[in-house]
Structure 1
């Protein structure tokens, strides 16, 4: 490989400052591979990665999301989920042409360091990544994905990581006896993680009522999807029965919505879980909230717990069954919106950051 490829650099201190940058090709070291990103998704989840790009103790150390693909002191490289094909290899067990699903930088190419290669894939052992949660460092061969179907290809990067998060939240609710709640309020209910949560909860025979909270303009269309038992607008929260034990799952970190829910339910709010921060510019407004202390949800930690509880094979089987059931309805939940090339990739990031992206579409970038 001789020509420079593109990457998107983001200011670590101001995520609104992003620009295309040339990425010079450098020789591979022993054990490394160069991959070309075939496609990746741009979702609100990626904005959460950007918000928490700087070290925040998320991984039990001093690293943040910027440290996956960029060295400290340089511009941030935003992590994305997608598919890539190996174009050069200096690693045993990985050949040119091999395809992998996993975690990549928002760029045209990436260099990964191969560890533990095998029929199912490999683990990236780049030194700065070795203390990060394993789920982020695993690259799975497309041919080895038991629940991969070619017809679902574009929906994998759009929904897979978000559906997994939603499924894990639903699992935690069931594990915790639903925190004693009779109704689960899901804020930013049109988000893909929320839809995954709503779908997973709906599969249970006995469960609390699910209530999707969204903007007034989205209520009718979201209700028609049949994911939630009820869908209401944010300005209707005060009409809910405040004497009925409730739990809140906040997908976007909108402090104003959180305060209304906490104030309305008070001691009847049994749990308040914050998952994302796509509303990165909204006031947190968390001081002095009545009701329970807010708790964060971290999907890799929950995954590791369930793998320890059940074993990797059973965990994978449960995910596969849930995923394939969800894929049967995914095409009616979101249309795939494909973008091609570096400028389009930068625009997709800015569109998602500004909140202009269509929640009913899944943006797939083909570098």
Structure 2
């Protein structure tokens, strides 16, 4: 497609149906800005956004991820994390050329409504977004990003939101006394969120053993990264010590793996935490599971709790310190795979949806 501006529309009821569409620019209303998206990441986390795109009570109301960038009744626009440059501004405090990190639609350009503009950034106050978690509506100036280094630029959209989620899960484990377990099983262990969790847990000196669960083909390569104490294939779950109290963190939403862990550990499974659903087309199969009820993990909620506990500045400083430590090892964990243009963006989405994307690469789309 040769259109200057493009977007990818996704069927809200069937996420396999996606098409590249031309976008006509509309005049800005007072308080709005137009941005060109410089780059964004396409990860399994975005597939989770698509799976939970429809209203599901995820935010404590009736909104889902499709409501960030599309009105009800319109095709869904998938949210992605990335960097953008302001190309036109009708908002006080924001000028053309300003650059921001944040949440954007899978598109070449976007219109945002500015509120609370300041030296650090602004909040999008588009009416349909005002009841959504603040972490999704905040846009940060590059100059104000704690822990930002130009050398890490491409890794920010790929790893930053996923690392933050992993770090917050690790924080919850520590806060809960590790649920009294001796081993933490992390399913879909090659995913970037799982790697963030494994890294964050590994920074502690007194902690349970971390066991990455992955497909047999990934075991050797994942073990070589040194993120987990052990890496075990899904078909070897039954070899784990069922007498030692354990917790499961499920990044994939694969019912067969969940059932295998719950059945093997039974009452010794102290916690079963669901984070994402990258295996979006796998049968859930969660009825009548032995062991604990599964509990969802919602990173924005955990972030808001810790900001309330520690204050925003301290929370930001803790994240920045952990992030910089992770950035020292990230380049050996994943290489950056850059794709350019709308057709490549659509292909990257379909590749990730198919489950065929290489977990050892980070896909960065340059619109």
TM-score band, normalised by shorter chain: over 0.9
Aligned twin of 1:65: 65
Deviations 1:330-356 (A, max 9, x none): 000000000000000000000000001
- Residues in 2 aligned to 1:36 and 1:356: alpha-carbon distance in whole angstroms: 29
Matched, 1:112 2:112: yes
Deviation at 1:265, TM superposition (A): 0.1
CA distance in 2, matches of 1:183, 1:218: 21
For 1:39, what is the secondary structure of its paired residue? Answer: strand
Structure 1: any 5+ residue segments left out of the alignment? Answer: none
Task: Provide the C-alpha distance between the structure 2 equivalents of 1:73 and 1:145, rounded to a whole number of angstroms.
Answer: 36
Q: Which structure 2 segments of 5+ residues have no match?
A: none
Provide Cα deviations, 1:78-119, integer angstroms capped at 9, x if missing partner: 000000000000000000000000000000000000000000
In the alignment, does 2:201 pair up with 1:205?
no
Aligned-partner SS, 2:198:
helix
Matches within 5 A, 1:138-177: 138-177=138-177
Q: Name the counterpart of 2:335.
A: 335
Residue in 2 aligned with 1:218?
A: 218
Match of 2:39 in 1: 39
Deviation at 1:179, TM superposition (A): 0.5
The reply to whether residue 281 of structure 1 matches residue 276 of structure 2 is no
Q: What are the Cα deviations for residues 35-84 of structure 1, in whole angstroms up to 9, with x where unaligned? A: 00000000000000000000000001110000000000000000000000
Partner of 1:21: 21
RMSD of Structure 2 on Structure 1 (CA) = 0.6
Deviations 1:197-256 (A, max 9, x none): 000000001000000000011000000000000001001100001000000000010000
Cα distance in 2, alignment partners of residues 208 and 250 from structure 1: 17
| Residues 1-367 of structure 1: pairs in structure 2 closer than 5 A | 5-367=5-367
Judge which range, 142-151 or 49-58, deviates more. 142-151
- What is the TM-score normalised by the length of structure 1? 0.99
Q: Distance in 1 between matches of 2:96 and 2:117?
A: 14
* Aligned length in residues: 365
1:4–1:25 CA contact under 8 A, matched in 2? no
Comparing 143-152 and 163-172, the one that deviates more: 143-152
Distance 2:189 2:60 in 1: 30
Tell me, in whole angstroms, the C-alpha distance in 1 between the residues paired with 2:196 and 2:169. 9
Offset, 1:146: 2.3
The question of whether the paired residues in 2 share the 8 Å contact of 1:70 and 1:77 is answered with yes
Q: 1:187, 1:171 → 2: CA distance?
A: 18
Preserved contact between residue 215 and residue 233 of structure 1 (Cα < 8 Å): yes
1:153-203 deviations in Å (ceiling 9; x for gaps): 000000000000000000000000001110000000000000000000000
Following superposition, the deviation at residue 23 of structure 1 comes to 1.0
**C-alpha distance in structure 2 between counterparts of 1:74 and 1:307, whole Å:** 35
Which segments of structure 1 move beyond 3 Å, counting only runs of 4 or more?
A: none
Distance across 2 between alignment mates of 1:88 and 1:61: 33
- Offset at 1:4? 5.2
Question: How many angstroms apart in 2 are the aligned matches of 1:143 and 1:304?
Answer: 23
